[in-house]
Amino acid sequence: MATKSNGARRIVSLLRPSIVDTSVCRSCQQTLGRRQYAVATETPATETASIAKDPSASTTFPVVKPVYTINAGIALSRPPQVTRELEPFEQAYYFYQKRLNERLALPFTKYFYFKRGTPADEDWKRKILDRRTAARDIGKYNAYASDAWNDELLVDAREADPAHQVEMLVQDAEATANATSQDTSKKEEIPRPFPRVTEADKKGDEKSLDRLLPRTLYLLVQAKGGYWTLPNAPVEAGESLRLAAERTLAQSAGVNMNTWMVGYHPVGHNVLEFKRPAIDQAAGTELRGEKTFFLKARIMAGQADLSVNTLGLKDFKWLSKEEIAKYVHPGYYHDIKNMLADR
């Protein structure tokens, strides 16, 4: 009898580990010690009959399901229009490569184009002298001289500035055009490249798409409450996230923009928790907050127009990633910053 009892104990120990078993870790021992096991018992017939007669006799609590409003958001961007400015090290590096190419390339046979001793030849020699750039130790640099190896750039030399190089090329083109022109009464002018700093940059016009040309700009809108967000609106019943995003863009910034949706899947999301959830007793739901999923879009032409918006928006701005952080809530920016381009 003792043997049978010992065998049953072994089976029970295998099915349910003991809290004093050394093979059980400390965390599991604490869990087993706190766990309470209930045994299902048969409900007496009298108690069942009383519950059937009076359902309110049993204590029950309403089940409230937490829900969130699902919004479709738009990260509408204007891509960079020009390349970014070169860093000082990059300018020096490219200028060094230019000198290295001049030194290693074969000497230019100028007499193929200009006869020796002619005015054109003398003019070419003058231009070559004017184009020689400053070196730190030898003054004017000559790629074909015996000391051409000493080509270290002079600090803050204007010849290394890309803007100066472009201006010199334009002046040479104007001189050539005026020299070959038959109408000497009119001076030929070659169009200069457009400046990187626009009038919108000088005026600080944050609604213009012509500002911060080397950066990516995003459309930011101001709601009724005065807070700034990316355009967003609730997803309607039977509507996909992509269709909801397209509708949101049309209802918020108007239809005077030529836009292109990048994809069908969101690139980021934001969760807004309400301080006081709204409970709908009839539906048995508790509205805890909003979840906004953002899709990417690009503007190709046009401009935002809030005059006919149906979302109650008050204002808009085209801002870069760093500028957005100044207007939105820190928690909101934390959720969207990783989907914004750094340049």
- Give how far the C-alpha of residue 284 lies from the chain's centroid of Cα atoms, to the nearest Å: 40
**What is residue 168's predicted lDDT score, i.e. its pLDDT?**
80
CA 252 to chain centre: 21
b/e map of 100-115 (b: 16 or more CB within 10 Å)?
eebeeeeeeeeeeeee
pLDDT of residue 335: 95
In this structure, are residues 67 and 277 in contact, taking their beta carbons and an 8 Å threshold? Answer: no
* pLDDT the model gives residue 219: 97
Beta pairing class for 285-302 and 65-78: parallel
pLDDT tens, per residue, the chain with 343 residues: 444 445 444 444 444 455 455 556 666 655 555 544 444 444 455 544 554 555 554 455 556 677 899 999 999 999 999 998 888 888 878 877 877 777 777 666 667 788 888 888 888 778 777 766 655 554 566 666 776 666 666 666 676 677 877 888 888 888 878 877 777 777 778 888 888 899 999 999 999 999 999 999 999 999 988 999 999 999 999 999 999 999 999 999 988 899 999 989 999 999 999 988 888 777 778 889 999 999 999 999 999 999 989 999 999 999 999 999 999 999 999 999 999 999 8
* CATH fold for domain 67-82+200-339: Nucleoside Triphosphate Pyrophosphohydrolase (3.90.79)
Return d(Cα 29, Cα 239) in angstroms, integer: 51
Write down the domain spans for the chain.
Answer: 2-51, 67-82+200-339, 88-160
pLDDT given at position 15: 46
Q: Are 328 and 287 in contact (CB under 8 A)?
A: no
Q: How many CB atoms lie within 10 A of CB 67?
A: 16
Rounded distance between C-alpha atoms, residue 176 and residue 160, angstroms: 24
Residue 195: Cβ-neighbour burial (10 angstroms; 0-12, 13-18, 19+): exposed
Q: Which string of DSSP letters, residue by residue, matches 141-209?
A: --TTSTTTT--PBPTT-GGG-HHHHHHHHHHHHHHHHHHH-S-TTS---PPPPPPSS-HHHHHT-TT-T
In angstroms, rounded to a whole number, what is the distance separating the alpha carbons of residues 28 and 152? 71
Let me know: does 316 contact 306? Beta carbons within 8 Å. Answer: yes
pLDDT of residue 39: 42
Other CB atoms within a 10 A radius of the CB of residue 269 amount to 15
